[in-house]
Structures are given as C-alpha cells and as structure tokens.
C-alpha cells in the first residue's frame, strides 16, 4: 500500500482520536461517525487492505483486541450483544483501505437492524433453504465436485 492510511496516521498520533484500548499489534478508537454511541473500530497496527494480508498471529491478536473492546463496551453499556462487522475491500464497503473491525454495542431499542436488512430482497429470504444448490456450491468450494456428467 502506498503512503500511510488514515488509520496509520491515527495510530502514530499524527491525527487525533478517541482511544478506547490498545495492544501490541492492534489499536481501538471510537468511530467519528458512529452508528450508535460506543461504535468502536479495532484495527491492526500493520496497515493492510485485506484480512488475507495479515499473518495468522496478527489475525489472532486482532480478535484478542476485539474481545477486549467488547469487554470494555459491555461493562459501560451493560450489554453482552454486539454487531461486529468487517468490510474486507472496497467492493465490500470498506472506506479506509486498512483492515478494521466495527464493534457496535447493541441494546433494546437502539435502532440497529440485522444482517438480513442489508439485503432485504434476497431470494428465499425467510423461506426454505435450497440444500441441493448449497451442497453443490460447498463441493465446488472444497474442490471435490465433478462437473462431468
């Protein structure tokens, strides 16, 4: 990635933030345009665009950071429920080209919706599962599907 990302500038202190917590390889701060109070971003200190560019150790430590942030938010907002979201790349909605986990505390009546609300017109939403097509896709993904008749 060329140049520092916005998040790398935040981590280095070049841009101010509202820090929530920090670990050796991750940093957590409040989102400046929160979906609700407490909306926190957990980012790896290593600035990469996609999760696949992180080492297994970095991914593990990032999720330790997620767990720590959830504990902090849980204590403050008196909840055990969170929406946890990652937009992995631009086409997935990632606005800053640096891996980040959105951690949003959820409480009754907070106005937040479910994943299904993001795709309300998905075929078969709420209907019967198509296990035949799911089985074929799973086989193809595993690489053990024979496409010859």
Tokens of 113: 């919706």
Q: Which of 98, 100, 102, 131 is catalytic?
A: 100
30 contacts: CB under 8 Å, gap ≥ 6: 17, 18, 20, 38, 39, 40, 41
Alpha helices in 17-113, H assignment, sequence order: 56-77
Tokens of 129: 């599962």
**124: buried, middle or exposed (CB in 10 Å: 19+, 13-18, 0-12)?**
exposed
Neighbours of 74 (CB within 10 A): 15
Is 100 labeled as catalytic in the residue annotation? yes
DSSP code of residue 90: G
Active site (catalytic) residues: 100
């Amino acid at each position: 990635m060329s140049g520092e990302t916005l998040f790398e500038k935040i981590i280095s202190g070049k841009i101010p933030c509202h820090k929530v917590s920090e670990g050796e390889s991750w940093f957590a701060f409040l989102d400046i345009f929160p979906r609700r109070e407490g909306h926190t971003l957990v980012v790896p200190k290593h600035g990469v665009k996609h999760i696949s560019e992180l080492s297994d150790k970095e991914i593990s430590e990032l999720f330790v950071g997620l767990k720590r942030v959830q504990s902090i938010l849980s204590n403050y907002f008196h909840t055990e429920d969170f929406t946890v979201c990652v937009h992995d790349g631009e086409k997935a909605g990632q606005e800053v080209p640096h891996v980040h986990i959105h951690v949003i505390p959820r409480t009754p009546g907070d106005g937040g919706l479910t994943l299904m609300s993001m795709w309300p017109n998905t075929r078969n939403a709420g209907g019967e599962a198509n296990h035949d097509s799911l089985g074929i896709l799973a086989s193809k993904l595993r690489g053990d599907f024979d496409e010859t008749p």
